[in-house]
Structure 1
Amino acid sequence: MTRIHRILLLALAFLLPLARPALAGANPESRCARPLHLAYSMLPPLYYQDANGDGRGIEVDLAQELARRTGCVLQPTYESRIRLWAAFDASQVDISMSGVATTERERFAVFLPYLHFRNVLLMRNEAHATPPASANPMNDPETSLALTRGFHYGPSWEPWISQVQSRGLVNLVAEEGDAVRLVAIGRADATIVREIAWPYYAGQYSDRPLRKVDVGASAGAMSVVLSRKTLDPAVHKAFAKALSDMRADGSLRRILQKHLPADLTDRVIESGR
């Protein structure tokens, strides 16, 4: 072996340990051996598309930060809410930035909560002669609903939804925006939306007489969803740590503040009411 070869080998022996962290990715705890299939659904302000068709919202910013911290590559796709859970169960989706845990869904997915939310009614002002703001439309047997297929609205709503369905007054649609549109054009009296979505829809239909009705529903948790079928526990752990670190260092709050009014940010990240 020549002197030059010995010098080159010594240099490599010194440089390789320095290079390993970069080769391993941003986070040495990452166990993502391949790009992960990330599914978005139209759920403003969590996810929506701007005038150019580009994805925007809390989920987009959250996904970018989680990818940076875990070192995982996330490949975005789009799924309707009804299709999303079937795709998880069929091992066709690895991760979603928004989901509500149920016993059935926890069979095939892990849920990492990151914000609290409450559902409210979105209604037309002229529905049934504009009842007083204090009136609860849930007590009106003539109230018709537009609902999104695949949504789990929570225990505060399911018994009432069943009653409205038994009267034949429920329209089922593929996307939440379609449900809001049916209300705006008078095809349904009300739909159920997350309180954080109200500013978005109120702005979208500023020329329509829509109103928000808070019926005091209990809070739920919105979670990052990770497949149990396609991802191993090391990946679940890496994402859980990244999300916990984001909460601790204020990154999560800053993302929410970018997309929500200040009063809503305080409620969804702190009190959960």
Structure 2
Amino acid sequence: MLGRSILPLGMIGLVFSAYCAGAEFDCGNRPIKLAFYEFGLLYEQGKGIDKDLIEELAKRTHCRFETQLMPRARIWSDLASGALDMSVSGIETPERNQFAWFAPYLSIKNYALVDTNLAKSVNSPAAFLASKEAQFGVVRSFKHGAEQDAFLGQMRAMQRVQDSPDVDALYNKLKEHRVSGIFSQPVVFRRNLGKFGLEKYVAIQDWTPNEKGLPHGLILAKSAFTEEQANAWRAQINALKADGTLKKIYLRYLPESEVTQLLDF
């Protein structure tokens, strides 16, 4: 756990305000090793929702954070091995529950981004399935939601899904018309539609109006945090939601209609 004695590590990235000995919040006796990953408005080039959230938590808890940017797959591996203490915007699964606690702070839903030419006749999963030649793009290993993943299962059975290694590769395929549709989230497409010059060439459609977004949260390695400590971090997140701080952070990046959905976790 963070309270145990370990050799100090070199500081990587941004270090937040100093830990106050004897502070009420249990920060442990060393900096918390935290990794960000780049994902649209959540974090890109040192800015984003996740960065603002961690800065606010550092201010309130007086904990020190030793941060770095890492690929998402490496983050999960290091959390499982104990090489990393914490990360951001993670989705809870039974497998991940074996090595991590989760403290949700936003709910993210995937929308369908469909080529405008196809969107004239397609506005649902069934209509896309019926469009025999249309290919759909995904990022390999991404989870989208129960209904959306069921649709992708049908598409895979028809060999009409193209996998991409990351989000940028996925958007490039959409731009180059190699796929006619993708799933993406407001925190990503509000950034990437402009980045890839796609604003006028895709229609944003909600194919699952009755399905809520997937909770994303702070990820705390069980090798570093006890359940009691994890509950204390959850309480900090809940306080940020209750006093309106989370909403203020999200409104810096997204319109209020989409912020309301983010807060539904």
CA distance in 2, matches of 1:147, 1:61: 28
- Aligned partner letter, 2:180: D
- Tell me, yes or no, if the aligned pair for 1:38 and 1:76 is still in contact at 8 Å: yes
Shift of 1:61: 0.1
Question: What's the % identity of the aligned pairs?
Answer: 23
- Tell me, yes or no, if the aligned pair for 1:39 and 1:84 is still in contact at 8 Å: yes
Instruction: Please name the residue that 1:193 is paired with.
Output: 184
Instruction: Please name the residue that 1:267 is paired with.
Output: 261
Question: RMSD of the TM alignment (CA)?
Answer: 2.4
Instruction: Please name the residue that 1:258 is paired with.
Output: 252
Instruction: Please name the residue that 1:172 is paired with.
Output: 163
- Tell me, yes or no, if the aligned pair for 1:40 and 1:97 is still in contact at 8 Å: yes
Q: Does the residue aligned with 2:67 lie in a helix, a strand or coil? A: strand
Shift of 1:134: 3.5
**For residues 59-92 of structure 1, what are the alpha-carbon distances to aligned partners after superposition, in whole Å with 9 as ceiling and x for unaligned?**
0000111122222222222233333322322222
Instruction: Please name the residue that 1:104 is paired with.
Output: 95
Q: Which has the higher helix share?
A: 1
Shift of 1:173: 2.4
Q: TM-score scaled by structure 2?
A: 0.81
Shift of 1:253: 1.1
- Tell me, yes or no, if the aligned pair for 2:113 and 2:181 is still in contact at 8 Å: yes
* Matching of residues 13-162 of structure 1 within 5 Å: 23-24=20-21, 27-49=23-45, 55-127=46-118, 130-132=119-121, 134-136=123-125, 137-140=127-130, 141-162=132-153
| Larger CA Rg, structure 1 vs 2 | 1
- Tell me, yes or no, if the aligned pair for 1:145 and 1:170 is still in contact at 8 Å: yes
- Tell me, yes or no, if the aligned pair for 2:20 and 2:62 is still in contact at 8 Å: no
**For residues 98-129 of structure 1, what are the alpha-carbon distances to aligned partners after superposition, in whole Å with 9 as ceiling and x for unaligned?**
011111111211111112221111222234xx
CA distance in 1, matches of 2:89, 2:185: 12
Q: Does the residue aligned with 1:38 lie in a helix, a strand or coil? A: strand
- Tell me, yes or no, if the aligned pair for 1:81 and 1:149 is still in contact at 8 Å: no
**For residues 131-165 of structure 1, what are the alpha-carbon distances to aligned partners after superposition, in whole Å with 9 as ceiling and x for unaligned?**
33545454334332222233222212222222222
Q: Does the residue aligned with 1:171 lie in a helix, a strand or coil? A: strand
Shift of 1:234: 4.3
Shift of 1:178: 2.0
Q: Which runs of 4+ in 1 moved over 6 A?
A: none
Paired residues in the alignment total 243
Range 94-103 or range 154-163, more displaced: 154-163
Range 162-171 or range 151-160, more displaced: 162-171
Q: TM-score scaled by structure 1?
A: 0.79
Which blocks of at least 5 consecutive residues in structure 1 are unaligned? Answer: 1-21, 50-54
Shift of 1:209: 0.9
